[in-house]
Structure 1
C-alpha cells in the first residue's frame, strides 16, 4: 500500500507543479506540444481536430491581453454585422443563421443574454427601475401634501372671513375636511402604511389571497423582488413565445421548433433594444421621441416574418396581426408568472 500511495503522491505533485510553474516544452510562457493539452489528441494543425482547442497555448500576461483584445474585437466585429441586419433585415439574418452562417453573426442566445443585461442596467441607471422611481414617487407625494396644506390655509382664512361676515361656512367645512382626509391618505402612502387594512374580499380565490396580502403589506419589498425575478427568469419569454409560432405555421413542416426559437430569440433581443433606447431617450428628456418607438415592433415583426419564412405581403400582414396579439398574451403570462414569483418569495 505504501508503494501505491507514493506513486499517487508523485502523480498528484506533478499535476500541481504543472499547474503552477512551467515544465519541459514551455519557454517564456508558451507551450510546444505534439498532443492537445485538453484531450490528448495528436495535433495536426493550429487547432485540435477533436475538441477545437488551439494547439498553441500560453501562460503569459502578454498572451492574456492578446486573448482579451482578440475576444473583444471578435465580438465587436460580429456586433457590427449583426445589429444593422437585426434592425433592417431581421428575417434575412434569421434565415441565414438557421441555414448555417453561425460564425458571421452573434448567436441569438448570446445576443439575448447581452440585451437582457444591458436593458436592466440602463433602466436602473436612468431610474426607470429601483430607487430612482421610488424616490421620485415619494417626492411627488410630499409635494401633494405641501400643496394640500397650503389650500387648507386659504380655505380656513376664507372660513374665518365668512364667519365674521355672517355667511354660512358648511360648504367650506366639507372642503377643509376633504383636504385633511387627502393629506392623511397621502401620508399613509408616504410612510408605507397599507391603505386597506381590512380582510381581502371573500370572492378572492384562497390561493391568491397570500400574494395580495403580501403585496398590500410590503409593496416596496415585493416590487424589488418582482424586478429581481424578471431579470433572473427573463429566459422564460422564449419557451412562452415559441408555441405561438407553431400556431402561425401549423401546416408548414419545413419549419421546426429550432427555427421558431431562433426567430423568437432574435425578435425579443430587438424589442429589448427598443426598451433600452426608450429609457435613454426618456432620461434625456425626449419623451415624445421615445413614444414613437411604440410603433416600431409591428413593422419589425412584419419584416422578420416576411423575410425569414418567405411569405407574401398579405400572408405576412395577417400573421403579423396574429403575432402582435400572441406577443401581448405571452407578455401577460410572463408578467403574471414573475409577479407570482416575486409576491411568494
Structure 2
C-alpha cells in the first residue's frame, strides 16, 4: 500500500512539473545546420506567419543541436530564464504586486506559481541531499528490548519449574513411577538452564539474564487521563522508540511499523513530504477563502495563486536559512530571520494581493497564523497515514 502511495505521489509530482514547464514537438522535416527548415508548424501543420504558430503557440523555428538541448534542460528542469529574475525579486519584496499582476493577466512576464513552487521543492530536496540533511536513521525499534524481556521471562519460568520439580522429589512417599518421571524432567530442565548459561558467555544480554542481573520490565507510564505514554528512550546503540498498542487494528498496524523500524518510517516521512508537498495547496485554499468569504470579488483562483506563491517563498526562505546556517551565520540572525520574515512577508502579501488596509491585513494575519498551524497538522497526519499504509 505504501509503495502504491509513493508511486501516486511521484506520478502526480512529475505530471504537475511537466505540465508547468513542458512542451512537445515532432517532425521529420530536413535540417540545415541543426535548424529545422520548416514552412509549416511542426506541431500542428499550420502555415507559419510569424515567430510563433498562431494556432497552437509553438515557436516557429526550432533547433536540434546539443546547445539547444542544454538550453531546454535548464529551461525545462529549472525554468532558468529571464522570467525567473523578474519573478524572484517581486516574490521577495513585493509579493502582493506579483500575485495581483499574475491574477490580472500578466502571465508571460512571470514564472507561473506552480512551476515556481515545484522548482523550489526540487531545489530544496537537491540541496538537502547534497548537504546530508535528512531524518535521523539511528532510531532503533523496541524489538531488542522485547526479546530481552521474553528471554528473561522464559529463563525465570525454567528456574521456577525446576524448583517445583525438586520440591516434589523431596517427598519420600512419592510413587516410583512419578519419581522417575520427575527425575527425567529435572535432568532435562537442568540441561536447558546449563545450555542457556553457556550460551550467555557469548551473548551480552543473555549473560545478564542467566546471571540473574536482568531487571524486570517497568510498568508503562500513564498520563492523567489514563492513556499510555509513548516514551523515547536511549540505549547504547542510539535512541530507541517505544510504542504501546491502541486496541484499534489499523492503528496498531501502523504503530507496529514505527515500533519495528522508526528510522525507516522517518525516512519515508521525509520522502513523502517531497512527493506530496503539493497537497499543501488544496489544503490551504479553503482556509484562505474563509478570510474573504463575504467578499465576492475574490474567487478560489485568486486564493490558489496567493497560496502557491506564498508556499514558494516559504520554501525558498527555509532553503536560504538552512544554507546560511551551514555557512556559519550566527544563530541569533537565523533565529530572528525565522521568526520575523514569514509574518512580515505574509502581511505584505495580503495587503498587496487583496488591496487591504493595515488593520484588515493585521487581523487576517493573526487568523491565518492559526490556520497555518491547522493545515500543517493535517498535512503531517496525511504523511503519517501515507507512510504507514
Could you say whether these structures have the same fold, taking a TM-score greater than 0.5 normalized by the shorter chain as the test? yes
- The farther-off stretch of 120-129 and 225-234 is 120-129
* CA gap 1:255/1:134 in 2 versus in 1, 3 angstroms: same
Query: What is the SS of the residue equivalent to 2:80?
Result: helix
Is the Cα contact below 8 Å between 1:45 and 1:55 reproduced in 2? yes
SS at match of 1:339: helix
Aligned equivalents of 1:340, 1:189: Cα separation in 2: 28
Instruction: Kindly provide the CA deviation profile for residues 48-73 of structure 1, in whole angstroms up to 9, marking residues without a partner as x.
Output: 11111222233334554566688899
Superposition RMSD in Å? 2.9
Mapped contact 2:137–2:266 kept (Cα < 8 A): no
Cα distance change of structure 1 residues 34 and 120 upon mapping to structure 2, 3 Å threshold: closer
* 1:290 lines up with 2:334 in the alignment: yes
1:186: Cα distance to partner? 3.3
Match of 2:183 in 1: none
- Residue 254, structure 1, aligned to residue 254, structure 2: no
Shift of 1:126: 3.3
Normalising by structure 1, report the TM-score: 0.71
Residue of structure 1 equivalent to 2:257: 214
Give the match for residue 12 of structure 2.
none
User: How much does 1:225 deviate?
Assistant: 1.0
Q: Structure 1 30/249 Cα, relative in aligned 2: closer, same or farther at 3 Å? A: same
- Does the Cα contact within 8 Å between 1:89 and 1:303 map onto a contact in 2? yes
Deviation at 1:45, TM superposition (A): 1.2
Residue 114 of structure 1 is matched in structure 2 by 119
Q: Aligned pair in 2 of structure 1 residues 125, 68: CA closer, same or farther (>3 Å)?
A: closer
Q: Go from structure 1 to structure 2 and tell me whether the alpha carbon gap of 1:194 and 1:291 turns closer, same or farther (over 3 Å shift).
A: closer
The corresponding residue for 1:263 is 306
Q: Distance in 2 between matches of 1:326 and 1:310?
A: 21
1:144 maps to what in 2?
A: none
Match of 2:370 among 318, 325, 328: 325
Aligned pair in 2 of structure 1 residues 228, 237: CA closer, same or farther (>3 Å)?
A: same
- Helix, strand or coil: the match of 1:208? helix
Does the aligned pair in 1 maintain the 2:103–2:305 contact within 8 Å? yes
Structure 1 residues 194 and 317 mapped into 2: Cα distance closer, same or farther (>3 Å)? closer
Aligned-partner SS, 2:250: coil
* 1:225-236 paired onto structure 2 within 5 Å: 225-236=268-279
Answer whether contact 2:52 2:58 (CA < 8 A) is retained.
Answer: yes
- 1:75 alignment partner, SS class: coil
Counterpart CA distance in 1 for 2:115 and 2:58 is: 20
Q: 1:223 to 1:84 in 2, by over 3 A?
A: same
Residue ranges of structure 2 left out of the alignment (5+ in a row): 1-26, 141-213, 219-232
Maintained 8 Å contact 1:122/1:279: no
Aligned in 2, Cα 1:271/1:65: closer, same or farther, shift over 3 Å?
A: closer
CA contact (8 A) 1:116 1:231 kept: yes
Task: Give the structure 2 partner of residue 124 of structure 1.
Answer: 129
Cα drift, residue 254 of structure 1: 0.9
Relative to total residues, which structure has the larger helix share, 1 or 2? 1
Q: Residues 195 and 206 from structure 1, CA distance in 2 versus in 1: closer, same or farther, beyond 3 angstroms?
A: closer
State the Cα distance separating 1:318 from its structure 2 match: 0.6
1:146 maps to what in 2? none
CA–CA separation in structure 2 for the residues paired with 1:221 and 1:90: 38
Distance 1:63 1:320 in 2: 46
Return the alpha-carbon distance in structure 2 between the equivalents of residues 124 and 29 of structure 1.
37
Is 1:98 the counterpart of 2:95? The answer is no
C-alpha spacing 1:208/1:189, structure 2 compared with 1 (3 Å) = farther
1:101 and 1:245, CA in 2 relative to 1: closer, same or farther beyond 3 A? same
Residue 35 in structure 1 maps to residue 2 in structure 2: no
Write the distance in 2 (CA, Å) between the matches of 1:207 and 1:224.
21
Runs of 5+ in structure 1 lacking a partner? 1-17, 139-176
Distance 1:63 1:128 in 2: 34
Matching of residues 302-313 of structure 1 within 5 Å: 302-313=347-358
